[in-house]
Structure formats: structure tokens, C-alpha cells
């Protein structure tokens, strides 16, 4: 009985190894890079050069700050997302947005309702950049800085 059981186990391992995979030579080879991006049937604008993933970059960050001064504490948590899309070789479009989280340990949250970066979604910057050459570029940019952090003249004496 033991001999029969051992021969059946050995036989069950040998039979599958006798078979081998067959390659269909009439089928075209699959380009795995293209397959992972678009699947077997690329259709629409995604498969074209308009919305190509190689032209898109995205960076994300999360920061948390805790500070105390004069017997008061303040805390802030912020998620920031920067997206860049290269429309063509000289033209790049950038967008930076963020979400300011609630201030769980802050004692100053109710003092100033007109703070520029309150809780919620905000647009930090948007930029359109056109490179004319190696050393020349045309750039249109929108930035939103908190009060007191930026002055175009670098010194705000008003």
C-alpha cells in the first residue's frame, strides 16, 4: 500500500512536467511597456501624444508644524500637490494646490478670520512657461503667498 501511494505521488508530479508550454509563432510579440500603459486596444486621446503619461509629473508632500510662543501654541498640517504637464517641447504648464488641514492643537485658530491660508482647499501657484532658447524663456505665473512672506521689492516699508 505504501509503495502504491508513493508511486501515485511520484506519478502525479511527473505527468505535469512532461507537458511543456507552446509558443504560437503566428502571433505578434506583445510590447509590455505599451501593454502596461494602454492595454491591448489603445483608443481615444489617452493613447495619442496629447495626454501621454511621459509628459506628466506630479509631486506630493505632507507637512505638520507645531510651534509655541508667549504661552500660546499653534499647529498646522498641510497637503501640497504640484503637477507639471509638458504640452510641447518648449511649453510647460504647472499647477500647485494644497489643502490646509484643521489645526487640532492650535489656540490661535479663532483670533483672525481673515488669514490668507485658512482651513480648506487653496491654489498656491499656476505657471505657464515657454522656453525660447537655452538661455531665454517667457513665463506667466500666479502665486499666492501668506501675508508678510513676500514683497516684490523685498522690503516692505509701508
What was the pLDDT predicted at 71? 79
Q: Among residues 130, 128, 74, 78, which one has the least CA distance to residue 104?
A: 74
Dihedral angle of Cα 151, 154, 157, 158, to the nearest 10 degrees: -20
Tell me the mean pLDDT in the region 74-95. 89
Is 41 a member of any domain?
Answer: no
Is 141 a member of any domain?
Answer: yes
Is 11 a member of any domain?
Answer: no
Is 78 a member of any domain?
Answer: yes
Its domain, for residue 110, covers 52-158
- Using pLDDT thresholds of 50, 70 and 90, give the confidence band for residue 50: low
What was the pLDDT predicted at 74? 76
Range with the lowest mean pLDDT among 8-12, 32-36, 107-111, 117-121? 107-111
Is 83 a member of any domain?
Answer: yes
What was the pLDDT predicted at 65? 82
Is 114 a member of any domain?
Answer: yes
Taken in order 26, 31, 34, 37, the sign of the CA dihedral is positive
Is 112 a member of any domain?
Answer: yes
What was the pLDDT predicted at 16? 65
The residue that leads in pLDDT, 78 or 141, is 141
> Is the pLDDT reported for residue 27 higher than 50?
yes
The residue that leads in pLDDT, 66 or 95, is 95
- Using pLDDT thresholds of 50, 70 and 90, give the confidence band for residue 114: very low
Measured in residues, the chain has a length of 158
Is 94 a member of any domain?
Answer: yes
The count of domains in the chain is: 1
Residues 6+ apart with CB under 8 A from 146: 115, 116, 117
Tell me how crowded residue 92 is: count the other CB atoms within 10 A of its CB: 19
> Is the pLDDT reported for residue 5 higher than 70?
yes
Q: How far is CA 17 from CA 5, 11, 13, 20, 21, in A?
A: 19, 10, 7, 7, 10
d(CA 45, CA 88): 16
Amino acid at each position: 500500500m505504501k509503495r502504491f501511494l508513493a508511486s501515485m505521488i511520484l506519478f502525479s508530479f511527473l505527468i505535469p512536467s512532461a507537458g511543456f508550454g507552446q509558443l504560437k509563432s503566428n502571433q505578434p510579440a506583445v510590447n509590455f511597456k505599451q501593454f502596461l500603459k494602454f492595454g491591448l486596444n489603445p483608443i481615444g486621446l489617452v493613447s495619442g501624444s496629447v495626454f501621454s503619461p511621459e509628459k506628466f509629473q506630479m509631486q506630493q508632500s505632507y507637512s505638520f508644524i507645531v510651534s509655541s510662543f508667549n504661552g500660546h501654541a499653534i499647529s498646522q498640517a498641510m497637503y501640497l500637490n504640484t503637477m507639471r504637464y509638458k504640452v510641447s517641447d518648449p511649453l510647460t504648464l504647472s499647477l500647485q494646490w494644497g489643502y490646509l488641514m484643521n489645526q487640532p492643537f492650535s489656540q490661535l485658530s479663532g483670533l483672525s478670520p481673515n488669514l490668507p491660508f485658512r482651513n480648506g482647499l487653496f491654489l498656491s501657484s499656476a505657471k505657464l512657461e515657454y522656453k525660447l532658447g537655452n538661455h531665454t524663456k517667457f513665463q506667466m505665473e500666479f502665486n499666492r503667498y501668506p501675508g508678510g512672506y513676500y514683497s516684490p521689492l523685498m522690503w516692505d516699508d509701508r
